[in-house]
Amino acid sequence: MNIDGKALAQELRNDLAVEVKQLQEERGITPGLTVILVGEDPASQVYVRNKVRQTKEIGMISNEIKMPAETSQQALLDELDKLNNDPAVHGILVQLPLPKHIDEALIIDTILPEKDVDGFHPMNSGRLCNGDAAALVPCTPQGCVLLAKKHLGDNLCGKHAVVIGRSNIVGKPVSLLLLQESCTVTIAHSRTKDLAALCATADILVAAVGRPEMVKADWVKPGATVIDVGINRIATEDGKGRLVGDVDFADVEPVADAITPVPGGVGPMTIACLLKNTVEAARRFG
Ligand code: GUN
C-alpha cells in the first residue's frame, strides 16, 4: 500500500492553520517566514514558489527575497543580519544549493539558531544529536518519521531502521530521529559492503541517496515500510522527463507492506514541516 504524503501534509497544515489563528488571537503574533533564493536554478524556483504559496494559505506572513546569482557573500550576510534583527521574521530559509562563490556553511552559521527553520545550524544539529527538545529539526527527516508513524503507529521501538545516505540534510538527522524513537539504526552509504543484503534486514528502509530507482525488490524485506526521499528527474522518450524516487516503485511495491510514492510522499511533508518549524519558532521566540 501507499503512504499518502499529500493527505498527511494537508492534515498537518490544517492543524497549523488553527495554531496560527490562536497565536494571532492570544498573543498578537502572526508567524513570518522569509525565503531567500540566490540565482535562477529552475528546481529551486519551483520549491520556493510552493513554499511561499503554502505559507500564505495557512495564514502566515510569507516574504520572498530574490537575489541575482552574482550576489556577493557579504551582501547575503548583510541581508541575513537584517532578518536576524527583524522581530516580524520568525523563520529564515536560504534555499540551497548556493552559487559556488558563497560559503554555504558560513551562511548557515550566520542565521540565528532560533530562526533556523531548516534546522541546519550547528546549534540545532548539536541539540538534535543530544536529544534536546529545544532543537529545530530538519524538515525532510521530520516528514520521514511522521510518514513511518502514519503507517506503523507511534511506537517504533526496537525496529531495525536502515538509512541509505549520510547527508547533513537527510541521512544523519533522520538516523538520529529514528534512534530517538528507540529504533536500532544502521546508516548505510555508497561504500557500504553488501548494501542490498543489509537493506533486506530493515523493518524501516529510508532511501536518501539521489540515485534513480536504485532500491530493487530483493533489497526489501517482505512486509517492510519503505520511505523514499529521492526526487530524480529521468529522461523519457517524449522529452518531458519523469520524476522517480531512489526506490524502484513498481518493483518494490508488491514486496513492501507500505511505501511512500514519488511524487506525493516525502516531498509534501517537507514543506508542511517547514511551516510547523516556523509556527514553533514564532510560539517559542516570537
Ligand atoms: N534545497 C533542497 N532541499 C532543501 C532544504 O530542505 N532546505 C533548503 N534551504 N534548501 C534545500
- The ranges assigned to domains in the chain are 28-112, 139-267
Mutating to test ligand 1, I would choose from 44, 95, 125 the residue with most ligand atoms within 8 A of its C-beta, which is: 95
Average pLDDT over residues 70-90: 98
**Active-site residue (options: 4, 116, 118, 203):** 118
Residues 64 and 285: their CA atoms lie apart, in Å, by 21
Q: For residue 155, how far is its CA from the centre of ligand 1 (angstroms)?
A: 29
Average pLDDT over residues 232-255: 96
Confidence band for 267, pLDDT divided at 50, 70 and 90: very high
Distance from the alpha carbon of residue 77 to the mean position of ligand 1, in angstroms: 18
54, 107, 109, 118: residue to mutate for ligand 1 pocket, most atoms within 8 A of CB: 118
118 is catalytic: yes
Spacing, Cα 95 to ligand 1 middle (Å): 5
Give the pLDDT confidence score for residue 108 in this predicted structure: 98
Architecture of domain 28-112: 3-Layer(aba) Sandwich (3.40)
Protein residues with CB under 6 Å of any ligand 1 atom: 93-96, 118, 139-140, 169
Alpha-carbon gap, residue 163 to 185, rounded angstroms = 7
Give the tens place of pLDDT for each residue, 105-157: 999 999 999 999 999 999 999 999 999 999 999 999 999 999 999 999 999 99
Expressed in angstroms and rounded, the spacing between residue 252 Cα and the centre of ligand 1 is 27
Which is nearest to 61 in space by CA: 70, 69, 52? Answer: 52
Whether 10 is catalytic is no
d(CA 131, CA 133): 6
Mean pLDDT value of segment 185-191: 96
Task: Reply yes or no on whether 257 is catalytic.
Answer: no
Question: What CATH architecture is 139-267?
Answer: 3-Layer(aba) Sandwich (3.40)
The rounded distance, in Å, linking the Cα atoms of 271 and 264 is: 12
pLDDT tens readout for residues 36-66: 999 999 989 999 999 999 999 999 999 999 9
28-112 against 139-267: fold identical: yes
Confidence of residue 160 (pLDDT cuts 50, 70, 90): very high
Closest ligand 1 atom number to CA of residue 270: 6
In a mutational test of the pocket of ligand 1, which residue from 49, 93, 125, 233 has the highest number of ligand atoms less than 8 Å from its CB? 93
